[in-house]
């Protein structure tokens, strides 16, 4: 652990370290704002002199706080996964949503919602069946993508996006069929889940998710150096002592786990994984010792802010948070394509 | 102290790319591999560096079989400069060179910084360190990759019997003065104790700077020896299917 820590400081510049600290401060601030504002108005500061009413305390600790924390963790997860995939594929357009990984997770999740009654009895683990099948779905899609794009070198970009379109369409069909054959109760579950939101989460469900996602993120930080070397090309990285097969497996599995869990808890939230790593590269550089942790922080900031917007824009109703991230992300995506064309 | 290559054969889909190739790359020597396009030079280099496994034959580094050496240890005893050079993201030149630096048990900043200064002086690229790699010219990119290949061999933390530098046409894209500069650095490295294995196209350059030369044609070693032994008009003409003349007084090859 201390080795990782030392390396981190070796490879980042003073400017990058400053950005890292600034992002941390902004994240703490925005989390504070996130738990202070909502359709139910009261002063959060009252928490500190213990003068909250029971209802206010309930809203703060069991509604807003888990929601904001989940938003931060999911934002970090999606951005981290985007940064890792962009590094692995050496392709700036890789994003768990765009290339179909989220859709795979969604299909897996939908499958478990619609089929759980048929195949699994109501036992204790059922709440965790959903994240688990979402992880399987996303791992499956990433493996397919890898088989399709390997060996295509720099042309992999087009192939991967086309494959993503196909996979997204296929997942759409799958979810459609599952919706069609579901009974009323399952349909209800499926519909609520597909709309995607951070609302209605409970500590029991998100605590294991947070632990798994955060530990996966920290574990993934170890591969920063290898991801840097991979940018020279696979054979070059191999010659520098990187076990390419293991690296691929590590990235694919960690992305599948964090995207799978995120999607299973919140539905599909697009473009975060695409936009955030690009922003972070624009701020201060491209090396992964800087890029990975700062992407996680920026993703968390962006997601908590989007969730905040989704709650306050049309109070007391709520916009789906995926709508907001896509509204920010899709023009950014167009700009990215435009810029690449002009290069 | 040498790399010993014995009876290497490599076949892809019934096509024999290399046939029973044997040679020895010693430390303190520049070993140049020459031959027409498609003769199997790059494949041989990839086998020697450990990228691919031959169908038959063995590669030994200082009496250890190559496939018994872990990929991390391989990185410590040989560095490879290949022809590819594109990097998608906007790394700085310094970061690209740093990718070649192998970490020991601990990362000692001073060691790396000293190596960086050394390699920057040797390759005369210190002024490029803070530039963006992707904004360099093709020739400058080559030089940066060359510096990265050198610095990979500069961490003395690892105990190795000998170290080797392998290069696949490192002088492509370089103008004649930079070409000469690069080959002179390699000459110096060989005198410092490195073994150099290099694929070249320029016959004159190879003649003047190599200690050993091998001509390879259609996957077979056609001639092997010191430049003076193998630079014969009939051998050269045979290898390239071209009338090549060799002026012994001024030691120049001409073919047009």
Please name the residue of chain A whose CA is at the shortest distance from the CA of residue B83: A236
> What is the sign of the dihedral through the CA atoms of A268, A273, A275 and A279?
positive
Q: Write down the pLDDT at residue A304.
A: 94
Please name the residue of chain B whose CA is at the shortest distance from the CA of residue A277: B89
List the single residue in B49, B89, B152 with the smallest CB-CB distance to A286.
B89
Q: Which helix (H) or strand (E) holds B58?
A: strand B56-61
Interface test with A, best of B88, B104, B154 (most A CBs within 10 A): B88
Please name the residue of chain B whose CA is at the shortest distance from the CA of residue A238: B71
Domain residue limits, chain B? 2-254
CB contact under 8 A, A242 and B99: no
Do the bridges between strand B56-61 and strand B64-65 make them parallel or antiparallel, or are there none, so unpaired? Answer: antiparallel
Q: How far apart are CA A83 and CA B4, in angstroms?
A: 43
CA distance A232 to chain B (A): 6
In chain A, the N- to C-terminal Cα span, in Å, equals 40
CB contact under 8 A, B89 and A238: no
- Which residues of B fall within a CB distance of 8 Å from A286? 89-91, 95
B194 pLDDT above the threshold of 60: yes
List the single residue in B73, B89, B106 with the smallest CB-CB distance to A281.
B89
A283 pLDDT above the threshold of 50: yes
pLDDT band at A196 (very low <50, low <70, confident <90, very high): low
Residue pair A98/A72 in contact (Cβ under 8 Å)? The answer is: no
- Which residues of A fall within a CB distance of 8 Å from B71? 238, 241-243
When mean pLDDT is compared over A138-152, A180-194, B48-62, the highest value belongs to B48-62
Query: Which of residues B139 and A99 earns the better pLDDT score?
Result: B139
Rounded average pLDDT over B113-130: 92
Interface test with B, best of A8, A241, A279 (most B CBs within 10 A): A241
A45 pLDDT above the threshold of 90: no
For domain B2-254, the question of CATH label 3.40.50.300 is answered with yes
CA distance B82 to chain A (A): 8
List the single residue in A229, A235, A281 with the smallest CB-CB distance to B99.
A229
User: Is B158's Cβ below 8 Å from some Cβ in A?
Assistant: no
CB contact under 8 A, B84 and A231: no
Condensed to tens digits (0 to 9), the pLDDT of residues A111-162 reads 888 876 666 665 545 667 878 888 888 888 878 877 776 644 445 556 777 8
Q: Which of A31-35, A210-214, B109-113 has the lowest mean pLDDT?
A: B109-113
- Which residues of B fall within a CB distance of 8 Å from A241? 71-76, 102
Query: Which of residues A61 and A191 earns the better pLDDT score?
Result: A61
Rounded average pLDDT over B115-133: 93
Angle at B174 between CA B171 and CA B175, to 5 degrees: 125
CA distance B232 to chain A (A): 36
Domains, in order of start, for chain A: 15-26+53-342 (1.10.3470.10)
B188 pLDDT above the threshold of 70: yes
CA distance B141 to chain A (A): 12
CB contact under 8 A, B89 and A236: no
- Which residues of B fall within a CB distance of 8 Å from A6? 106-107
B161 pLDDT above the threshold of 60: yes
Q: Write down the pLDDT at residue A110.
A: 86
- Contact partners, residue A24, CB within 8 Å, separation at least 6: A297
Q: Write down the pLDDT at residue A152.
A: 45
Rounded average pLDDT over B71-78: 92
- Which residues of A fall within a CB distance of 8 Å from B79? 239
CB contact under 8 A, A7 and B107: yes
Residue B124 gets the label, from left (phi > 0), alpha (psi -120 to 50) or beta, of: left
When mean pLDDT is compared over A45-59, A326-340, B15-29, the highest value belongs to B15-29
Q: How far apart are CA B209 and CA B32, in angstroms?
A: 9
Condensed to tens digits (0 to 9), the pLDDT of residues A52-78 reads 788 888 888 888 889 999 999 999 999
**ipTM at complex level:** 0.91
- Contact partners, residue B9, CB within 8 Å, separation at least 6: B16, B18, B19, B20, B21, B54, B55, B56, B57
User: Is B157's Cβ below 8 Å from some Cβ in A?
Assistant: no
CB contact under 8 A, A231 and B89: yes
Condensed to tens digits (0 to 9), the pLDDT of residues B28-48 reads 999 999 999 989 999 999 999
Tally Cβ neighbours within 10 Å of residue A24: 15
List the single residue in A6, A231, A240 with the smallest CB-CB distance to B107.
A6
- Which residues of B fall within a CB distance of 8 Å from A228? 91, 95, 99
Q: How far apart are CA A317 and CA A259, in angstroms?
A: 27
- Which residues of A fall within a CB distance of 8 Å from B88? 90-92, 231
Q: Which helix (H) or strand (E) holds B164?
A: strand B164-168
């Amino acid at each position: 652990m201390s080795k990782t820590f030392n390396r981190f400081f070796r490879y980042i510049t003073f400017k990058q370290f400053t950005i890292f600290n600034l992002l941390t401060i902004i994240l703490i601030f925005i989390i504070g704002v996130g738990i202070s504002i909502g359709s139910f108005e009261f002063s959060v500061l009252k928490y500190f002199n213990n003068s909250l009413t029971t209802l206010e305390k309930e809203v703060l600790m069991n509604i807003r706080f888990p929601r904001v924390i989940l938003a931060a963790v999911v934002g970090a997860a999606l951005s981290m996964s985007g940064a890792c995939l962009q590094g692995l594929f050496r392709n700036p357009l890789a994003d768990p949503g765009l290339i179909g990984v989220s859709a795979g997770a969604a299909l897996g999740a939908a499958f478990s919602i619609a089929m759980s009654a048929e195949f699994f009895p109501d036992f204790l683990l059922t709440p965790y069946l959903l994240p688990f099948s979402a992880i399987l779905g996303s791992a499956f899609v990433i493996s397919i993508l890898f088989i399709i794009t390997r060996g295509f070198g720099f042309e992999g970009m087009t192939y991967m996006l086309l494959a993503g379109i196909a996979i997204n369409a296929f997942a759409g069909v799958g979810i459609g069929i599952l919706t069609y054959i579901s009974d009323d109760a399952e349909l209800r579950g499926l519909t609520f889940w597909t709309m995607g939101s951070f609302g209605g989460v409970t500590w029991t469900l998100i605590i294991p998710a947070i632990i798994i996602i955060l530990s996966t993120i920290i574990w993934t930080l170890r591969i920063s150096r290898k991801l840097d070397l991979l940018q020279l090309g696979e054979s070059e990285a191999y010659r520098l002592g990187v076990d390419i097969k293991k690296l691929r497996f590590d990235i694919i599995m960690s992305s599948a786990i964090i995207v799978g869990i995120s999607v299973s808890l919140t539905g599909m939230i697009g473009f975060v994984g695409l936009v955030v790593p690009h922003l972070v590269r624009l701020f201060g550089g491209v090396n992964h010792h800087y890029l990975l942790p700062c992407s996680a922080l920026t993703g968390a900031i962006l997601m908590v802010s989007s969730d905040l917007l989704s709650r306050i824009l049309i109070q007391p109703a709520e916009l789906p948070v995926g709508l907001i991230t896509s509204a920010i992300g899709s023009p950014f995506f167009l700009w990215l394509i435009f810029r690449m064309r002009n290069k | 102290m040498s790399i010993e290559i014995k009876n290497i054969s490599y076949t892809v889909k019934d096509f024999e790319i290399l046939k029973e190739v044997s040679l020895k790359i010693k430390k303190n020597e520049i070993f140049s591999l020459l031959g027409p396009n498609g003769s199997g030079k790059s494949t041989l280099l990839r086998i020697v560096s450990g990228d691919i496994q031959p169908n038959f034959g063995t590669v030994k580094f200082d009496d250890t079989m190559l496939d018994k050496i872990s990929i991390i240890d391989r990185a410590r005893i040989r560095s490879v400069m290949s022809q590819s050079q594109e990097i998608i993201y906007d790394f700085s030149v310094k970061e690209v060179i740093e990718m070649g630096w192998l970490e020991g048990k601990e990362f000692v900043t001073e060691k790396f910084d000293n190596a960086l200064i050394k390699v920057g002086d040797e390759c005369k690229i210190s002024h490029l360190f803070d530039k963006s790699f992707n904004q360099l010219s093709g020739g400058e990119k080559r030089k940066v990759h060359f510096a990265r290949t050198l610095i990979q061999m500069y961490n003395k933390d690892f105990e190795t019997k000998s170290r080797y530098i392998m290069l696949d046409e490192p002088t492509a894209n370089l103008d004649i003065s930079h070409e000469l500069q690069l080959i002179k650095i390699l000459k110096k490295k060989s005198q410092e104790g490195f073994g150099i294995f290099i694929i070249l196209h320029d016959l004159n350059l190879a003649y003047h700077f190599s200690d050993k030369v091998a001509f390879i044609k259609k996957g077979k070693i056609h001639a092997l020896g010191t430049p003076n032994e193998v630079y014969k008009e009939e051998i050269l003409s045979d290898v390239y299917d071209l009338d090549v003349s060799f002026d012994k007084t001024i030691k120049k090859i001409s073919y047009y």
